[in-house]
Amino acid sequence: MNYRDIISIEPGKRGGRPCIRHMRITVADVLGWLAAGQTHAQILDDFPELTEDDIRACLAYAADRERRLVTAPI
């Protein structure tokens, strides 16, 4: 699974934030739900339009972005 096949960025949708498969659900939404303690199963129950691969794509996107983050020395 390549997250680039699932995560889309459209300038006019949700302020240009990364979304899942052209839907209005953002990567940040999914990451926030996971951070709040929701399980994959709970998210999928609440949003049946999502798939397990969608959730994994959000995690892969975040991990890739974190690897590319460059921080300035303090």
Per-residue pLDDT of the chain (74 residues; tens, 9 = 90+): 799 999 999 999 999 999 999 999 999 999 999 999 999 999 999 999 999 999 999 999 999 998 887 655 55
The count of domains in the chain is: 1
In a domain, 34, yes or no: yes
Distance CA 59, CA 74 (A): 28
In a domain, 32, yes or no: yes
The CATH number for 29's domain is 1.10.10.10
What is the domain range of residue 10?
3-63
pTM: 0.87
In a domain, 73, yes or no: no
Nearest Cα neighbor of 55 from 70, 73, 34 is: 34
